[in-house]
Amino acid sequence: MITYNERERIFKLDTPDTTYMIGIVDEENFIGHIYYGKRLKEAEASYLMRTQEPPFVPSTNNRERCSFYDCFPFEYPTSGVGDYREGCIGIRTAAGHVGSMLSYVSHEILEGKPELEGLPATFGSEQDCMTLKLICEDRHVGMQVELLYTVFHDTDVITRSAKVTNTGREYFYLTKICSACIDMDNRDFDMISLHGSWARERHIQRKALGYGIQSVSSCRGESSHQDHPFLALADKHATQENGEIYAMNFVYSGNFRAQAEVTQFDSVRMTMGIHPENFCWKLECGESFQAPEAVMVYTDKGFDAMTQTFHRLYRKHLIRGEYKDKKRPILINNWEATYFDFNTDKLLSIAREASKLGIEMLVMDDGWFGNRSSDNCALGDWKVNENKINGGLKYLVDEVNKLGMKFGIWFEPEMISPDSDLYRAHPDWAFAIPGRPGTESRQQFVLDLSRQEIVDYIYEQVASVLRSANIEYVKWDMNRQLTDIGSCGLPADRQGELYHRYVLAVYQMQDRLTREFPHLLLENCSGGGARFDPGMLYYSPQIWCSDDTDAIERLEIQEGTALIYPLSTIGAHVSDCPNHTVGRVTPFETRGIVALAGTFGYELDVTKIPVEDREMIPAQVAMYHKYNDLIREGDYYRIASYAQNRKYDCWQVVSGDKKQALVTFVQVMNRANFKSRRILLKGLDGEKRYRVEFVNDDSVEDQIYSGDTLMKAGLLVPNPWGDFKARLISLTEA
């Protein structure tokens, strides 16, 4: 619900349990942030902007206008005229001036949600949501800014974005653009962010928020392994079940910056947007720039509630396509099984054995095209190597289909190898700075996707392969970050647009792909999890979570990922041991249980693994089919964190009707001379009685307990003998 109180000049945006309020003040129509928090009955909180305190508003005390600018809680702050906190927007005029200030002009309240041109964004019908379009301007610059706010009727989310239009008589440069800002009083917050590196993505970091600017960001051309486009400010005492949290997540797959600034007056300014470093977008008269969307969540019920809000929004209002609400096929990927050493016969031998075990799809990974016998050549030469895929691609796919299996294939469309036919023909198609040697990574360069002719060529190469056979899955990879940001297709004063134009081109290609092949299951990947973000989820319902498939390493990776993203989006496989990344040996059973909290599949050679492991696969397949609907659709709760206690991990998924739940318990390190471990379950109906079954432990008899007992008194989990042991516990209404 969105309302406007014309007398008080207050906008009130209500979700089921939260309220967001914006006020217009003074005769100059400054736009102020009033409140974001638990739902209010009335729009009567304008006093929170403190305009009745010194330095007052400029119409009352113009001699202290600068002081007003530097303390007023601006809804969308600018810079260069007196607000010395971080602004949301930066411009440079043709004359080289940088100052700006926005004033309210008009507004619209719409049913539903407009699309953002060229960008992924959440969606909703007129029955699902309402949108406030707030128009403001800087007449001195000749700039109009359209602020969009959407509230969803079924979840406590507000999405925000900004669109900038040049309404003046000469061009100007946009040098900074944020999508969301909140100005509020500091409450001794902790800052929650996600950090890592290749093979250890999205580890949760929690630290006290101090004075000054604290930020997370990426300038790598992607959302990155290292930092994540997510930031939360939490009550210092917030737990999984209790406490206030303000969170933002960016629906964007390129450079970003999310930050919180504690000011001299103990206020906090929290912002999220495109990273301003190396960003400069020229706006000619009449041209517009659309910023990506930011998702905001507030809760006073702790991290579980925050997580569930993000999950519900993304499942219902971001993920699209045939697999939006559908069980995904269990796949086996040949990468860790064969690397580049495979041919048709080898792939079919894997497929034949896999099909007997109940696996439903074979995915052919890197190495099937051009002269690709290692990772140092042939990217860009998207032609089937029929010396390796003897008989041709269609023959291979048809043979796999005859086994009752689907077929999938790997691409890395954004990259080009210096040792490739494409590069030899078009060396200017790679990003490059004239006169400077190119920076190779994995012995490859990045294609200049700011040029439409390159986008069209690469798309047609990929699409031609997909048209040639019954291919039902694509793994879209990106294995290096961007460097050498230069394009021979843009003039000098538009080179600062390259990073963003690159991301727009990736979105365009994936949009075309999913439109031409609507039944395709697309899985994004970037060296594992370097581009696991909401922007990618708009095109692919799942993303490869990490190249580290070790079940124990995955506990921290998947915990951090599931803090924001539904389990159904997390690409997770059972892989070989010793693990190819860390060399650890974990039980095959444990690997299966950990992978169950994701898309579930296999990354190994089923013809070579031990017989006792291979014999477990049919039971794991049956386990997936039995529980996947619950895992994909249920509410996720975090019970214990191995990242914090270094002993065990535990999470739970509960069905919407509270009739079914699944608890996953992983004992990482066993304890000598201890009794069973007691865990307190969550999210059950206290009035229902539940049959408790230890799915993979026949030594524990089924018992029936009330939900009230299981949540308040807890459940005893016997200590498994040994390290790296997992237990799956099923609860069904008795």
Q: Examine the pLDDT at 292 and tell me if it is beyond 90.
A: yes
Task: Give the span between the Cα atoms of 185 and 195, in whole angstroms.
Answer: 26
Which structure tokens are listed for 572? 């997770």
Spans of all domains in the chain: 2-317, 331-572+590-627, 638-733
pLDDT tens digits, 507-550: 999 999 999 999 999 999 999 999 999 999 999 999 999 999 99
Check whether the bond before 77 is cis (ω within 30° of 0).
no
- Write the CATH number of the domain with boundaries 331-572+590-627: 3.20.20.70
Task: Give the span between the Cα atoms of 244 and 300, in whole angstroms.
Answer: 4
- Say if CB 138 and CB 162 are below 8 A apart: no
**CA-based torsion, 55, 59, 62, 67: positive or negative:** positive
pLDDT tens digits, 648-687: 999 999 999 999 999 999 999 999 999 999 999 999 999 9
Sequence length of the chain is: 734
- Write the CATH number of the domain with boundaries 638-733: 2.60.40.1180
User: Can you give the pLDDT at residue 698?
Assistant: 86
pLDDT tens digits, 416-433: 999 999 999 999 999 999
Task: Give the span between the Cα atoms of 483 and 255, in whole angstroms.
Answer: 13
Task: Give the span between the Cα atoms of 52 and 722, in whole angstroms.
Answer: 66
Q: Is the pTM of this model over 0.95?
A: yes
Q: What is the mean pLDDT of residues 160-180?
A: 97
- Write the CATH number of the domain with boundaries 2-317: 2.70.98.60
Q: Examine the pLDDT at 600 and tell me if it is beyond 90.
A: yes
Task: Give the span between the Cα atoms of 259 and 515, in whole angstroms.
Answer: 36
pLDDT tens digits, 355-367: 999 999 999 999 9
Which residues form the catalytic set? 477, 547
Q: What's the chain's average pLDDT?
A: 97
Among candidate residues 148, 150, 142, 213, the one with its CA nearest the CA of residue 174: 142
- Say if CB 582 and CB 550 are below 8 A apart: yes
User: Can you give the pLDDT at residue 274?
Assistant: 98
Q: What is the mean pLDDT of residues 701-714?
A: 97
At residue 299, what are phi and psi to the nearest 5 degrees? Answer: -150, 155
User: Can you give the pLDDT at residue 677?
Assistant: 96
Q: What is the mean pLDDT of residues 242-261?
A: 98
Q: What is the mean pLDDT of residues 161-167?
A: 98
Q: What is the mean pLDDT of residues 564-582?
A: 97
Exposure class string for 363-383: b at 16+ Cβ within 10 A, else e:
bbbbbbbbbbeebebbbbbbe
Task: Give the span between the Cα atoms of 674 and 422, in whole angstroms.
Answer: 63
Task: Give the span between the Cα atoms of 583 and 552, in whole angstroms.
Answer: 11
User: Can you give the pLDDT at residue 43?
Assistant: 83
Q: Which residues contact 400 (CB under 8 A, 6 or more apart)?
A: 347, 348, 351, 362, 406, 407
